[in-house]
């Protein structure tokens, strides 16, 4: 290939690549990203910054995926096009010193660097929002999170709304929060390195012995909202099944569909009209295996997992907790039931000596 032809071809290819990359990015940002549900296998974006973290994952996935696919296409195309066609054919030595040859390296390199800059800027934006910013909140919304082998202990301000006083409330492996409320947490460890992780919030923070690390989150989806959404989805599906049954005229199908609608109206979901996450959850939450998720089981499903994301010993796999996000009314009911109980105020020593499998204050609102 002549120098002039090589130079012209390279500019055309690079221009087409740049335009394709720009169109690809615009499509992702305008169509795919706003309409995505979640990147984390049915886990909702349950905190105020979960959307930004998912967006960063999406940006990295699509940009890196674009260049990966493009480079593999070019690689296999060249392997096929420039293969040895006859035994007598000799390889051509290319020094790579000519300007028209260097363009095939330098221009793609510049395009990749531009994409890297975009990723760095997006990463700094999300990092600053999540890690460097601490939104203001009220003193009663400051909690302590203590990791220990192998349990999470949560310390709330008591009726005086001040942390580290005699009326503080302690819960083991169970955290209750109000929806749309900014919380500050003070994370620490009493023994080894742990990692405080709430996948639905898109938060993971190491807890280091001897250090107190401050962070924040703002729950945006309550358990009640999740249950309401599941019931609405199930009701829509059941309605479609009822119409199809009436159209077919099959008495059994009509009866089954009507029974499903009746259960949904009473706050339960039968397996016959379950979809998505609800369908997957039957094996976990359907305690009596009657193929019906009761109101109580749905509310338990409405909680979020709390995990330790750092191997911390033989019981690491058992170090899990549960997070419940309530409306303000339901949260006040839970708090009243806790503060009205005897024995919820315990000393630091007594708290750490409790079994990790038992919550000191585990009453939930009805």
From first to last of the 366 residues of the chain, give the pLDDT tens digit: 455 555 566 667 667 767 776 776 666 666 555 545 555 555 678 888 888 888 888 788 888 888 888 888 888 888 777 777 777 777 777 776 777 777 777 778 888 888 888 888 888 988 998 888 889 888 888 999 999 888 999 998 888 888 888 888 888 888 999 888 899 999 999 888 999 999 888 889 998 998 999 999 999 988 888 888 888 888 888 888 888 888 887 788 888 888 888 888 888 888 777 777 777 777 777 777 777 888 888 887 778 889 898 888 888 888 888 898 988 888 888 888 877 643 344 434 344 444 333 344 433 333
| pLDDT tens track for 107-116 | 788 888 888 8
Give the span between the Cα atoms of 208 and 186, in whole angstroms: 12
pLDDT at 194: 92
Q: What is the distance between the alpha carbons of residues 120 and 229, in angstroms, rounded to a whole number?
A: 36
How far apart CA 184 and CA 207 sit, in angstroms, is 15
* pLDDT recorded at residue 184: 92
For the record, the structure tokens of 38 come out as: 């979640």
Task: Report the pLDDT value the prediction gives residue 67, as an integer from 0 to 100.
Answer: 82
How far apart CA 124 and CA 187 sit, in angstroms, is 23
Q: Residues 52, 209: contact at Cβ < 8 Å?
A: no
Report the C-alpha gap between 242 and 256 in whole angstroms: 8
The values of phi and psi at residue 256, to 5°, are -65, -40
Beta strands in the chain (DSSP E): 142-148, 151-156, 169-172, 174-178, 183-189, 194-198, 203-207, 213-217, 269-270, 292-293, 304-308, 320-326
- pLDDT at residue 51, rounded to an integer: 82
Burial class (CB in 10 A: 0-12, 13-18, 19+), 287: exposed
Instruction: Look up residue 269 and give its two tokens.
Output: 């979901």
Give the pLDDT confidence score for residue 350 in this predicted structure.
44
Of the candidates 211, 229, 205, 198, the residue with the CA atom closest to the CA atom of residue 298: 229
**Contact, 259 vs 362, CB < 8 A?**
no
**Residue 232 burial (CB < 10 Å; 0-12/13-18/19+)?**
exposed
DSSP H or E run through 22 = helix 3-27
Phi/psi at 175 (5° precision): -125, 130
d(CA 151, CA 308): 9
Other C-beta atoms within 10 Å of 79: how many?
9
C-alpha–C-alpha distance, residues 357 and 328, integer Å? 28
Return the pLDDT at 343: 36
Q: Which residue has the tokens 């989806």?
A: 221
* pLDDT at 196 (0 to 100): 92
Where along the chain do the CATH 2.60.40.420 domains lie?
139-222+302-353
Torsion-angle region of residue 92: left (phi > 0), alpha (psi -120 to 50) or beta? beta
CA separation for the pair 80, 191 (Å, rounded): 59
Q: Write the pLDDT tens digit of every residue in 84-124.
A: 777 777 777 777 677 777 777 777 888 888 888 888 888 89
Report pLDDT for 32: 55
Q: What are phi and psi of 272, to 5 degrees?
A: -65, -20
Strands, E assignment, 37-133: none
With H, G, I as helix, E, B as strand and everything else as coil, classify residue 106: helix
Report how far residue 196's alpha carbon sits from residue 174's, in angstroms, rounded to the nearest whole number.
13
What kind of architecture, by CATH, is found in domain 139-222+302-353? Answer: Sandwich (2.60)
């Amino acid at each position: 290939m002549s120098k002039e032809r090589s130079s012209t071809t390279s500019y055309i290819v690079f221009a087409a690549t740049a335009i394709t990359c720009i169109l690809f990015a615009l499509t992702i940002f305008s169509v795919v990203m706003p309409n995505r549900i979640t990147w984390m296998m049915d886990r909702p974006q349950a905190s105020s910054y979960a959307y930004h973290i998912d967006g960063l994952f999406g940006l990295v996935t699509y940009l890196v995926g674009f260049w990966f696919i493009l480079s593999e296409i070019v690689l296999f195309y060249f392997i096929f096009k420039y293969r040895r066609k006859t035994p007598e054919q000799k390889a051509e030595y290319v020094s790579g010193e000519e300007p028209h040859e260097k363009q095939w390296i330098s221009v793609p390199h510049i395009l990749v660097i531009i994409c890297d800059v975009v990723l760095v800027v997006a990463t700094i934006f999300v990092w600053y929002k999540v890690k460097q910013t601490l939104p203001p909140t009220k003193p009663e919304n400051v909690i302590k999170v203590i990791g220990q082998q192998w349990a999470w202990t949560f310390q709330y301000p008591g009726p005086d709304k001040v942390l580290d006083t005699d009326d503080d409330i302690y819960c083991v492996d169970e955290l209750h929060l109000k929806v749309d409320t900014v919380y500050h947490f003070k994370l620490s460890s009493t023994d080894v390195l742990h990692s405080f992780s709430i996948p639905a919030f898109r938060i993971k923070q190491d807890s280091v012995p001897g250090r107190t690390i401050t962070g924040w989150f703002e729950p945006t989806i309550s358990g009640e909202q999740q249950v309401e959404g599941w019931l609405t989805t199930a009701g829509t599906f059941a309605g479609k099944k009822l119409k199809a049954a009436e159209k077919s005229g099959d008495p059994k199908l009509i009866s089954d569909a009507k029974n499903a609608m009746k259960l949904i109206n009473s706050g339960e979901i039968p397996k016959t009209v379950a979809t998505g996450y609800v369908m997957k959850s039957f094996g976990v939450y359907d305690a009596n295996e009657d193929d019906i998720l009761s109101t109580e089981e749905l509310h338990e499903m409405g909680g979020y997992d709390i995990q330790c994301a750092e191997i911390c010993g033989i019981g690491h796999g058992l170090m899990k907790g549960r997070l419940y996000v309530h409306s303000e009314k339901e949260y006040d009911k839970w708090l009243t039931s806790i503060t009205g109980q005897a024995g919820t105020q315990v000393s630091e020593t007594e708290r750490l000596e409790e079994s990790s499998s038992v919550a000191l204050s585990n009453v939930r609102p009805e």
